[in-house]
Amino acid sequence: MSKLDFLKEELESLQETGLFNPIRTIDGPQGAYFTVDGRRMLNLCSNNYLGFANLPELREAAHRAIDVYGVGPGAVRSISGTQRIHIELEEKLAEFKHAEACIVLQAGFTANLAVIPTITGDGDIIFSDELNHASIIDGCRLSKARVVRYAHNNVDDLRAKLQAEKANARRMLIVTDGVFSMDGDIAPLPAIVDVADEFGAMVMVDDAHGEGVLGKSGRGIVNHFGLEDRVDIEVGTLSKAFGVMGGYVTGSKTLIDYLKQRGRPFLFSTGLTPADTAAAIAAVDVLLKSDERVVKLWDNAAYFRKGLNEAGFDTGKTETPITPVMLGDEKLASEFSKELYARGIFASAIKYPTVARGKARIRCMLSAAHEKADLDFAVATFVEVGKMLGVLK
């Protein structure tokens, strides 16, 4: 009898209800292909949009930084752990995002925890899209502000809620994902900033899946819509298209100065390693030099989606390289993913509770690392499995 036996029961119940998620082990680097549990598989499920996770320029920058700075920063950044390359990365990201200033944190997740509870509190109201990422939800939970959820990407609902609540609020913050990771749809940011201005609310966008994907050379959703002067706070990750690890916030110098004084993950958790920091700098440099990889990513996504649609698959409402293959039934999605795996394709089934019941799908993540031949193989395999399981005629 152990005090933790209740967790064993919880785990068993996950097993019984099919919600237990077995975690696979990868050998070697991320790329178009990778080795999963010892087998070479086509990789359709990483966020390595631009193939940066194993790019020679980034690897070399990381090696050099270790030679100069060692492997760890030694302390939280506010005491003695801010290295010159941290400042260099922040200046580079601010320039890249056309923002006044930037603060780099350990992860995109932490960036949301650093900003939301720090700039909102008692008497404030946060308006949050109902499909926002878990780290936004947790950031809101850490705040003493009240949270009002609005219907997904629904600006009419947002406006009605702002109208109903404005008399009760000291300050108001609207927060949304830029690109929603399960459907690949984009937040209606121009309309959001319009209603925000109408009600004097601050706007924050978490662009984890838009970074390196949308906008000029992958500058993100704010640049995509040309809203640089109208979005107050941008959160980004260095762990998806940038291929490394880390998160950041960009905005006015006042915002960033304040986060460096009061953001708890900044003050109480050690910053990025020299290797991660230098690799992230190299990622931005690659993007500043050329948009070739961003263009290839979009080409690949269009090619793949066309192949799937022509074969009769429904790819939902995606507007980005996130490509869901909508199947509906939970068990069908699991079986589909298993059959793909047996044929050398690693693409995950996404089911309830991650998405609504009856909206199960295989989510394919495209990358500039893929070649057309890889995508031809993927489409042919989807068709074969789709016919076998009765999804296609």
To ligand PLP, the closest distance from the beta carbon of 324 in angstroms equals 15
Q: What is the rounded (10 degree) CA torsion for 174, 180, 185, 187?
A: 10
Let me know if 306 is a catalytic residue: no
240 is catalytic: yes
Output 118 or 239, the one with its CB closest to ligand PLP.
239
Report helix, strand or coil for 97. Answer: coil
**For residues 124 and 234, which CB has a smaller minimum distance to ligand PLP in the complex?**
234
Where are the strands (E) in the chain, listed by range? 26-27, 33-36, 39-43, 101-105, 125-129, 146-150, 172-177, 202-206, 233-237, 247-251, 322-328, 345-346, 348-350, 360-365
Distance between CA atoms of residues 70 and 92, nearest Å: 22
Closest approach of ligand PLP to the CB of residue 387, in Å: 33
Side-chain-side CA neighbours of residue 288 (13 Å) = 13
One-letter amino acid at 291 equals D
- Which of residues 211 and 374 has its CB atom nearest to ligand PLP in the complex? 211
Nearer to ligand PLP, 239 or 381 (CB): 239
3-state SS track over 208-256:
CCCCCCCCHHHCCHHHHCCCCCCCCEEEEECCCCCCCCCEEEEECHHHH
Active site residue 209: yes
* Distance, CA of 286 to CA of 291 (rounded, Å): 8
Shortest distance (Å) from residue 149 CB to ligand PLP: 16
Q: How near is the Cβ of 352 to ligand PLP at its closest, in Å?
A: 19
Tokens of 247: 């998160």
What are the angstrom distances between the C-alpha of 210 and each of 133, 235, 237?
A: 13, 11, 10
- Between CA 242 and CA 277 the distance in angstroms is 11
Nearer Cβ to ligand PLP (108/386): 108
Question: For residues 260 and 200, what is the distance between their CA atoms, to the nearest angstrom?
Answer: 25
Check 128, 181, 239, 367 and give the catalytic one.
Answer: 181
Position with the least CB separation from ligand PLP: 108
CB of 131 to ligand PLP, least distance (A): 10
Task: List the catalytic residue out of 97, 133, 240, 296.
Answer: 240
List of residues contacting ligand PLP (CB under 6 A): 107-109, 133, 135, 177, 181, 206, 208-209, 237, 239, 247
| CB nearer to ligand PLP: pick between 242 and 304 | 242
Distance CA 364, CA 347 (A): 6
Handedness of CA 382, 388, 391, 393 (dihedral sign): positive
Catalytic residue among 92, 161, 209, 359, which? 209
Minimum distance between the CB of residue 303 and ligand PLP, rounded to whole angstroms? 24
Distance of CA 19 to the CA centre of its chain: 23
List the catalytic residues: 181, 209, 240
